[in-house]
A and B are shown apart, each in its own frame.
Chain A
Amino acid sequence: MARFSAANEQLARSIVSRYPLPKSATIPLCHLAQEQDGHLTDDAMGHIAELVGCTAAEVLGTASFYEMFKRHETGTYCVNVCTNISCLLLGGEELLEHAEQKLGVRPGGTTADGMFTLEDVECIAACTEAPALQVNYRYFHQITTDEFDQLVDDLRAGKLADEIPPHGTLGKVRQEIPADKVANITPPEQQTEPVWIARHRLAAEAAAPAEGGES
């Protein structure tokens, strides 16, 4: 429930500095905040607004557009059960109902121990592997109810900790770019003409005298 920690604030500032316009860093910073707290808190959105120079309402507007930014307490594992056509035909609804009973929460709910948030989602692009579900966006294909129980037990027991990091965790590679790998940022007003536009312009200029000659 908080603003960025000192370390994350420093990281956030470096992320902001990678963009010509600070506001472009809004979404990366939302990810960072979600990684820190497991979900995107109001305080974090306020802090992001300060860092990118906009209002908190604008951060909320952007963040709320995206499903994957959770603005409420979310379990360590976010379980998304697909109930779209393919999965529905192959038992997705039954899988969801089983999951509800196993976890004891309705879709959208979080278990009392804060381990699981269950979600009923639309197509997750695994129709060939129906019924499918995701845990923190990692796929589990052709899941049976028994396999589901096993999965939950394994997660609770920490057996999958290496494969499935807690909700919100981001790839470190993208966040912390070594200094020698940072691309130079050219502010928009200092950017040179893109090659394809230059090519077009040169072609147009080459054609112009010919047209002039005809008239």
Chain B
Amino acid sequence: MSERPRKIEITDPVEITVDGQTVTAQSGELLIEACERAGAYVPRFCYHPRMEPVGMCRMCLVEVDTGRGPALQPSCMLPVTPGMAVDTTGEKVAKAQDGVLEFLLANHPLDCPVCDKGGECPLQDQTVAYGPGESRFVEEKRHYTKPIPISETVYLDRERCILCDRCTRFAKEVAGDPLIHFAERGAQTEVATFPGEPFSSYFSGNTVQICPVGALTAKPYRFKARPWDLEESESTCTGCSVGCRVTVQSSRNEVLRFQGVDSDPVNWSWLCDKGRFGFEAGNSEDRLGEPLLRDGGELRPARWSDALTAAASALKGADADRVAVLGGARLTNEGQLAWARLAKSVVGTDHVDAQLGDGLPAEVVLDLPGATIDEVCAPGGTVLYLGPDPKEELPVLHLRLRHAAVNDRVKIVSVSPVATGLSEFAAADVHPRPGETAVLVAALFGGDVPSDGVAGVPAEQVLAARELLSGAQDLKVVVGRQNLAESAAVMVDAVAAVRAAVPTATFLPALRRANVRGALEAGLAPGRLPGRATLEAPGSWKDAWGSLPKSVGRDAEGILTAAAAGRIDVLVLLGADPLSDFPDRDLAAKALDAAGTVISVDPFVNASAARAADVVLAAAAFGEVAGTTTSLEGRVTTLAQQVTPPGTARADWLLAVELADRLGTDTKVATAEDLWAQMVEGSAAHAGASTEALADEANVDGVLLALDGSGFTAPAATQVPPQNSYSLRLVVNRSLYDHGTLLSHCPSSAPLSREATLVLGPADAESIAVTTGSPVKVTAQRATITAVATVVDSVPRGTAVLHHNLADADADGVDPGRIVIAGEPVTEIRVEAG
């Protein structure tokens, strides 16, 4: 297991004696922690530093004398007190440990040779270290049917379970999904789910990692390897932008498992299941091992020299203003810099956007004073949450926010068009009409509140939320895209409203794609250059890169609109799949069809590439390229290369350097480190994040970039037309498991995506006489689609929800991409029983 020594700051020292040694501990700290820091590791099964202690397993008994004579006490339940004398190794303690293990082993099967945990099993290890050589228990052990699936991915072997309460505590305390619980009692006690209600938590994989025996195993890893055959390196999960630290474990050049690393500022050892099991995509048979060229309508394998020549000659022959680059948010920092240079300097186009109309403008991410996850979750603080449902998009951020609200008195004022995972523990949870978020946010800080409310939110809710925000010191704001059926300008206006009221507020951008922050830092946005420089103020990049684009280019929407009008001759898709990801699928499809040469750089043939790519350059994926990545809070961490890419797939940065070379520019780059050195040299914000600094022991959790952005200026407010009383405003949400390229190549996670339905509130459903399961007809300006309705209490009146990318792009799919029109501030729909 990947446990780091935990650092604590001692503010209130208490002197205790551990095995004769005087030790300074923090007042109130648990004895088990103080002993461990003093070098006296106390064996344990149930204790976990990130959960409340329960004293279930009794393995951590130590002899404690607080002045009343020595007695055995569980060190995980005992806070240190001055003068406490502790013996962790004496005869009585050894006898107690021996006895506890003998009891635990009375029912635990000795099937270690066939158990996945064997070799990394705390019970096995501690039995060898502290246990009896033999058992006196000769009776039959208890038997259960085994293993039983408790969810799609997690299996439970009740015979192996030692009832430590770790998984059940995790489910209740950390994940907030208490779908597993102890059932029965005494010797019959078992971990159980309710019949027909599986442990379908987004965080279920963590229970497998923290299980101290082999009772819980995860389908993707079962019987795949023995722990002693695994090679591992520490890296950062790129499933989303939270930047959870993981160990990537592989055997025979195949990634087999991720384990969460306890990174104190980020993930506290937790991972979401999408991230944890996301490695499956890398092992997919559909991975590209060689480049492809379109030949007679079909994509066929090609030689690298031919593919690169085809790409280079397309780029060379095109007018720079007719070349565009979409995507790049999934690359490493180094790949992003290399592609930014290729696009902006070598080719000379500024039509570059790493986001696909589903993000926020670069100035919101880079030019606002930043807040880290730790700052947002600091005890006692106040947070204005303007982001997407964190449980669906940034699951581990959701866990941190949940912990902050439930345990650390953080008051969250959640503003979102419909209820989110935060709703149950937010101090205030208000749902403005889609498109009117900024109006509501302004009202949260002052001004008259009409008696009929603001933006559809009742007046008393507005005033209650205002009350919570009014006393806030250091207001933290989390901002992202809440609704893909409204334009990004709506959220920019909301940010401006906060800035106008609270100039000292700091912001955490909650964007989803793994390295979107890095992409913007590297300049993969119109008008931007690396290190937060702009075309107007290019700084040292002008000299470093030579030529720069003459004018600010188009964003994703502009690029696709231009392409659809036949004004783009070369469209480069950097790991991007606009057909699946751009909210307006209709525009994306027209753009792909009308663009000249489409070059896709991707580990897979994604939907867009299959439709339109002329050249597909096989890219290396996660775990196959070493480099760095930047999390949403601006934390640069390292990515490890653990396996080799399939076939001859190449690193993204290498492809950019190679193409630049073919276009006649020597970028003087031989390694990824060279690229990063250029970044660190050219960007003040990156000054502390050099390769050497990242390798420093003191920076195991990565290096934070400077978060002192100040250049944000509020644009003119967007005009949102008043809502027609006959129509509903559409909300397009993302869900954790959608039909994205990577997820559809994860056999364990792909089946978990939910059915695409139209979600309505009870009042609107009643007015058109539909109930859950009824067919409905959804009419929008552009198209009419049919769907099945789901009626949910949490959707406010006048609003309806569709989920992004849950349906395939066929004609009958319940696909919001068919009705959302890019650039419209809001999307109005009419729903009829169909």
Contact = CB atoms under 8 A, between A and B. Distances in A.
B181 A65 contact: no
Contacts of B196: 42
Contacts of A54: 178
A57 interface: yes
A149 B166 CA distance: 51
A88 B179 CA distance: 42
Nearest to B188: A64
Interface in B160-207: 177-185, 192-197
Contacts of B193: 57
Contact of B197 (A55, A61, A64): A55
B184 A65 contact: yes
B185 A57 contact: no
Given A42-B194, A42-B195, A60 B185 contact: no
Contact of B178 (A42, A45, A46, A57): A57
A58 interface: yes
A55 B195 contact: no
A56 interface: yes
Contact of A55 (B179, B182, B183, B185): B179
* Range of interface residues on A (Cβ < 8 Å): 10 to 19
B184 A57 contact: no
A58 B181 contact: yes
Contacts of B178: 54-55, 57-58
B183 A64 contact: yes
Interface string A43-60: 001100000001111111
A61 B181 CA distance: 6
B184 A55 contact: no
A76 B210 CA distance: 45
A123 to B, nearest CB: 15
A42 B192 CA distance: 14
A5 B183 CA distance: 26
Interface in A12-51: 42, 45-46
A61 B185 CA distance: 9
Contacts of A60: 181, 183, 192, 194
Contacts of B183: 60-61, 64-65
A54 B182 CA distance: 15
A59 B195 CA distance: 12
Nearest to B177: A55
Contacts of A42: 194-196
A180 to B, nearest CB: 33
Nearest to A54: B178
Nearest to A59: B194
B82 to A, nearest CB: 21
A46, A58, A59 pick with most chain B CB within 10 angstroms: A58
Nearest to A56: B194
Contacts of A45: 194
Contacts of B177: 55
A1 to B, nearest CB: 13
A116 to B, nearest CB: 24
Contacts of A56: 194, 197
Nearest to A67: B185
A53 to B, nearest CB: 10
A29 B184 CA distance: 18
Interface in A49-95: 54-61, 64-65
A57 B182 CA distance: 9
Contacts of B192: 57, 60-61, 64
A46 B194 contact: yes
Contacts of B194: 42, 45-46, 55-57, 59-60
Given A42-B195, A55-B194, A57-B192, A64 B179 contact: no
20 contacts: A42-B194, A42-B196, A46-B194, A54-B178, A55-B178, A57-B178, A57-B180, A57-B193, A58-B178, A58-B181, A59-B194, A60-B183, A60-B194, A61-B181, A61-B192, A64-B183, A64-B184, A64-B192, A65-B183, A65-B184
Q: Which 8 residue pairs spanning A and B have beta carbons closest together?
A: A61-B181, A56-B194, A64-B183, A57-B181, A57-B194, A65-B185, A64-B184, A55-B178
Interface of A: 42, 45-46, 54-61, 64-65
Given A54-B178, A57-B197, 7 more contacts: A55-B181, A57-B192, A61-B181, A61-B182, A64-B183, A64-B185, A65-B185
